[in-house]
């Protein structure tokens, strides 16, 4: 039925699924060593998933994205984000919705948010006490959640904001370990038998979130929206070619999509960046030197001279390279969204039949020795010495599904790192290496990276 598939992993599909959930990187390493840059796993006995880490083949896939069902391949995310989520759409509806949601996360519009990003980072960092240990990932999640609440939901104060914030954090943290993440992959665990089952608790929180979002949408309808720059406002104002507005359910699903896709990912990457910056003192020194070159008081207090603009910070070459190298070594998603073949296609000399799922793997490409010598070494300089194509380096995926927030995420990372480094002196609280572990659909640092503040700058 699926024709000749490349390098099929022979172990039972249930075992492959467990490995994929518990240790997606070890699993990929093991079979790429054995089979090279294309092999087939079976997470389900009826459905082959072909993992691909050959840049040429990935280019062929990204350039033919219209031949695949991609929304359908994200069905596992539906219980979290709802069926109207951009991630689950395909075809014309996907294109329309992307066109609508893209502008706030790109170009000049994005720079409006820069001030908010720096303020939020400064406010969270100002709570750290000298000598106190804190978990970087938790602190970064506080920052990125606050930013997404302001930018997407337009919420920064009031009763609804105070209710929504802890509820969202608790809801998201329900899949913070491989074991707890397994409920997203195994339907058998998706039983809503009240609050004594993990799934039931998750669903209860989700219902509370839905109610709060619905109340916010209804209240907005009665308010004057002049001057509002948030994405919710934009979604409420938009009309399609037939003059139809988005329904409340559609708006709610997109809000949760942007929230889930947009803040966990950035928080995790920031935590890894802080880890590497403080693991290798020369990286921190180079960054500080570069930041200081922009002005005596890099960020914040303007009394000593002119304050660098967000654009100046975003253009700093070494800071950019540090963010690129972090995204290379620590891809938040082990592979891009699954691409399900609709009708037979030829990729890398193989003919793939309808129903086969193709998965370009970010992790294996980012660790190819021929592209990244000493791939396990954090070396931002490699991005200053060489340019990589969109098929050799793609932390944000590619083709028609390239991450909607890629520009926003990179701006946020640079501004948050610049703010933190210019204001505080930090060191790692522990000397031992931090490992990656599954957190929902993403990969995050085990233990979250513990840091101590040793002083203020």
Provide the mask over 190-229, with x wherever binding to ligand HEM is found by CB under 6 A and - wherever it is not: ----------------------------------------
Which region among 133-141, 183-191, 257-265, 431-439 touches ligand HEM (by CB under 6 A)? 257-265
φ, ψ dihedrals at 191, nearest 5°: -115, 120
Inter-residue contact 337 to 328 (CB < 8 Å): no
Q: What is the longest distance spanned by two Cα atoms in the chain? A: 71
Residue nearer to ligand HEM on the CB measure, 352 or 453: 352
Answer for which of 31, 68, 128, 408 binds ligand HEM (CB under 6 A) is 408
Exposure string for 244-257, b = 16+ CB within 10 A, e = fewer: eebeeebbbbbbbb
Which region among 53-61, 194-202, 259-267, 310-318 touches ligand HEM (by CB under 6 A)? 259-267
Q: If binding is defined by CB under 6 A, does position 265 make contact with ligand HEM?
A: yes
Question: Whats the size of the chain, residue-wise?
Answer: 457
Cα angle value 350/353/356 (rounded, 5°): 95
C-alpha atoms less than 13 angstroms from C-alpha of 299 in its C-beta half-sphere: 28
For ligand HEM, the binding residues in 269-288 under the rule CB under 6 A are 269
Residue nearer to ligand HEM on the CB measure, 147 or 291: 147
In angstroms, the CA 239 to CA 6 distance is 46
Which region among 110-118, 196-204, 232-240, 398-406 touches ligand HEM (by CB under 6 A)? 398-406
Query: In which element (H, E) is residue 61 found?
Result: helix 55-62
Answer for which of 109, 210, 402, 450 binds ligand HEM (CB under 6 A) is 402
Q: Find the shortest distance in angstroms from Cβ 301 to ligand HEM.
A: 28
Q: At which residue do the structure tokens 């590619």 appear?
A: 398
Provide the mask over 291-320, with x wherever binding to ligand HEM is found by CB under 6 A and - wherever it is not: ------------------------------
Helix axis angle, 248-279 relative to 406-423, nearest 10°? Answer: 40
Residue nearer to ligand HEM on the CB measure, 8 or 390: 390
Which region among 184-192, 278-286, 368-376, 400-408 touches ligand HEM (by CB under 6 A)? 400-408
Residue nearer to ligand HEM on the CB measure, 8 or 348: 348
Q: Find the shortest distance in angstroms from Cβ 134 to ligand HEM.
A: 21
Q: Which of 367, 352, 355 is nearest to 61 (CA)?
A: 352
Helix axis angle, 317-329 relative to 406-423, nearest 10°? Answer: 110
Give the C-alpha distances (Å, rounded to integers) separating 68 from 91, 280, 359, 360: 10, 43, 11, 13
Rounded to a whole number of angstroms, the CA Rg of the chain reads 22
Q: If binding is defined by CB under 6 A, does position 409 make contact with ligand HEM?
A: yes
Provide the mask over 316-355, with x wherever binding to ligand HEM is found by CB under 6 A and - wherever it is not: ----------------xx--xx------------------
Which region among 51-59, 253-261, 369-377, 421-429 touches ligand HEM (by CB under 6 A)? 253-261
In angstroms, the CA 450 to CA 428 distance is 6
Q: Per-residue DSSP letters for 295-316? A: -TT-SS--TTSPPPPHHHHHT-
For ligand HEM, the binding residues in 16-55 under the rule CB under 6 A are none
Which residues bind to ligand HEM, rule: CB under 6 A?
Answer: 86-87, 98, 105, 257-258, 261-262, 265-266, 269, 332-333, 336-337, 395-399, 401-405, 408-409
């Amino acid at each position: 039925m699926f024709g000749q598939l490349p390098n099929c992993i022979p172990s039972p599909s249930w075992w492959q699924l467990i490995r994929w959930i518990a240790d997606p990187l070890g699993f990929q390493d093991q079979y790429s060593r054995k089979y090279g840059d294309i092999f087939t796993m079976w997470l389900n006995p009826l459905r082959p998933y072909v993992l691909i880490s050959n840049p040429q083949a990935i280019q062929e896939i990204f350039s033919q994205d219209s031949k695949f069902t991609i929304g359908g391949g994200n069905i596992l995310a539906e219980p979290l984000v709802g069926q109207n989520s951009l991630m689950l759409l395909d075809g014309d509806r996907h294109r329309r919705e992307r066109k609508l949601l893209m502008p706030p996360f790109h170009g000049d519009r994005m720079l409006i948010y820069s001030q908010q990003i720096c303020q939020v980072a400064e406010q969270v960092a100002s709570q750290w006490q000298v000598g106190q240990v804190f978990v970087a990932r938790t602190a970064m999640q506080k920052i990125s959640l606050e930013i997404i609440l302001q930018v997407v939901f337009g919420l920064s104060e009031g009763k609804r904001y105070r209710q929504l914030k802890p509820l969202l954090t608790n809801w998201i943290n329900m899949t913070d370990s491989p074991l707890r993440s397994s409920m997203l992959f195994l339907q058998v665990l998706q039983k809503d038998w009240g609050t004594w089952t993990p799934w039931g608790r998750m669903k209860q929180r989700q219902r509370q979130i839905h109610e709060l979002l619905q109340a916010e949408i209804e209240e907005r309808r009665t308010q004057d929206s002049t001057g509002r720059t948030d994405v919710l406002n934009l979604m409420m104002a938009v009309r399609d070619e037939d003059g139809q507005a988005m329904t409340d359910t559609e708006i709610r699903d997109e809000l949760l999509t942007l929230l889930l896709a947009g803040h966990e990912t950035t928080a995790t990457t920031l935590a890894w960046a802080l880890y590497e910056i403080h693991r290798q003192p020369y990286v921190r020194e180079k960054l500080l030197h570069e930041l200081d070159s922009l002005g005596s008081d890099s960020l914040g207090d303007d009394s000593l001279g002119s304050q660098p603009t967000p654009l100046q910070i975003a253009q700093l070459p070494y800071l950019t390279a540090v963010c690129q190298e972090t995204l290379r070594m620590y891809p938040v998603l082990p592979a891009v969204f699954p691409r399900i073949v609709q009708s037979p296609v030829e990729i890398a000399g193989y003919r793939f039949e309808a129903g086969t799922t193709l998965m370009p793997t970010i992790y294996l490409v980012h660790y190819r020795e021929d592209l990244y010598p000493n791939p396990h070494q954090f070396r931002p300089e490699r991005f200053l010495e060489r340019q990589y194509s969109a098929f050799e380096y793609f932390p944000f995926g590619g083709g028609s599904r390239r991450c909607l927030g890629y520009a926003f995420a990179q701006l946020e990372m640079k501004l948050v790192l610049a703010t933190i480094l210019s204001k505080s002196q930090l060191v790692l609280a522990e000397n031992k290496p931090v490992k990656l572990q599954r957190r929902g659909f993403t990969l995050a640092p085990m233990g979250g990276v513990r840091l101590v503040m040793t002083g203020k700058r």
